[in-house]
């Protein structure tokens, strides 16, 4: 299957640079898979498509300030270090910018010496290993000097508002370097109304990492390899989800990270409730757990676009995206949403 089959043209002005004032006032494009009908709604109207016997699964991962700006002690140049994941003790997998000007053995100092790192070596996937040195807890330092890791297509520096808005209202477990953006549209009030309707809201955790946003380079999509990401589902949550499936209720996933977690769990028949997954979903994947999907609009030729194409069908997704473009929907992390059911 060719990657070029999953391409589309997006006007640059439709890439959302800032979030809306109200989270749940985003637009919502509803796509009915069975008949291809499209509806234009507001996000707070998502409740109208949920029934009391349904469950809605959310990802309660929390984004940490993973982007650091420092000085390379070898040449005095400004350097960016983007933390991906902790490998062992104080050694992290990182992305560097500008990569070619930060050779192995370089030392980068942040915030006048409160934190510094030594560049160790590159690994096979293109990331770099770095050893950090600091006093106290790293997460406390990152909260003080780190920056919200906005994705590269948002062409501006992160500000104080992003610290709150690039985070779901139910974020709890620290460990993600990218937000589960479908969840950014929910307010606490909307979640309460959904609960009052009788819909069971079930939390899981998947720490979104490089695996989700790493570009697909292979021309044949089957050759792409996802980076592993850590997930956890409690045994209680597994039992609640399985009970709904047995009683013919529907499982709605809030975001592609939830889809990948649930499908990983389903393929193990509920035996694997935590660990690492490199689950790569693309057409024609046979979904075993997810019946409905709340998601944002994704980049062309990305693993996320491939996943929604698998869920709804490539032609139907491309039709929906063209409808969204025609009607001026806002795209990507701070953009509008889709409900696919």
- CATH value at residue 136: 2.40.10.240
- Are 222 and 334 part of one and the same domain? yes
Are 141 and 185 within one domain?
no
Give phi and psi for 235, each to the nearest 5. Answer: -60, -35
Give the pLDDT confidence score for residue 126 in this predicted structure.
72
What is the DSSP-derived secondary structure letter of residue 304? H
Are 38 and 177 in a shared domain? Answer: yes
Q: How many CB atoms lie within 10 A of CB 161?
A: 11
117 & 80 share domain:
yes
Report the length, in residues, of the chain. Answer: 341
Can you give the C-alpha Rg of the chain in angstroms? Answer: 20
Q: What values do phi and psi take at 120, rounded to 5? A: -95, -60
pLDDT at 236: 93
Q: What is the model's pTM?
A: 0.95
Per the structure, the count of domains in the chain is 2
Q: Residue 175 in contact with residue 62, Cβ under 8 Å? A: yes
**So what's the pLDDT on residue 125?**
65
Residues of the chain with pLDDT under 50: none
Can you give the CATH number for the domain in which 241 is found? 3.40.1780.10
pLDDT at 14: 98
């Amino acid at each position: 299957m060719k990657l070029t089959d999953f391409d589309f043209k997006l006007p640059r002005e439709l890439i959302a640079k800032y979030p809306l004032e109200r989270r749940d006032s985003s637009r919502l494009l509803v796509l009915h898979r069975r008949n291809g009908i499209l509806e234009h709604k507001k996000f707070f109207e998502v409740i109208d498509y949920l029934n009391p016997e349904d469950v809605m699964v959310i990802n309660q991962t929390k984004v940490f300030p993973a982007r650091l700006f420092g000085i390379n002690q070898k040449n005095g140049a400004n350097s960016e270090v983007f933390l991906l994941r902790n490998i062992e003790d104080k050694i992290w997998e990182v992305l560097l910018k500008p990569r070619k000007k930060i050779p192995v053995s370089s030392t980068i100092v942040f915030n006048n010496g409160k934190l510094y790192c030594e560049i160790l070596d590159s690994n096979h996937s293109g990331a770099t290993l770095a050893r950090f040195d600091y006093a106290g807890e790293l997460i406390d330092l990152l909260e003080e000097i780190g920056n919200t890791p906005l994705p590269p297509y948002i062409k501006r520096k992160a500000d104080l508002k992003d610290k709150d808005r690039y985070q779901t209202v139910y974020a709890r477990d620290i460990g993600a370097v990218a937000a589960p953006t479908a969840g950014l549209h929910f307010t606490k009030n909307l979640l309460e109304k959904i609960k009052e309707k009788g819909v069971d809201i079930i939390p899981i955790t998947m720490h979104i990492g490089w695996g989700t946003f790493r570009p697909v380079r292979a021309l044949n999509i089957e050759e792409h390899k996802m980076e592993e990401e850590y997930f956890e589902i409690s045994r209680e949550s597994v039992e609640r989800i399985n009970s709904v499936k047995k009683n013919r209720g529907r499982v709605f996933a809030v975001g592609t990270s939830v889809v990948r977690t649930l499908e990983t769990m389903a393929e193990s028949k509920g035996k694997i409730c935590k660990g690492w997954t490199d689950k790569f979903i693309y057409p024609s994947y046979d979904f075993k757990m997810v019946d409905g999907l709340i998601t944002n609009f994704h980049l062309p030729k990305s693993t996320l676009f491939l996943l929604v194409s698998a869920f709804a069908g490539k032609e139907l997704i491309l039709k929906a995206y063209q409808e969204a473009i025609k009607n001026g929907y806002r795209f990507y992390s701070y953009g509008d949403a889709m409900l696919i059911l």
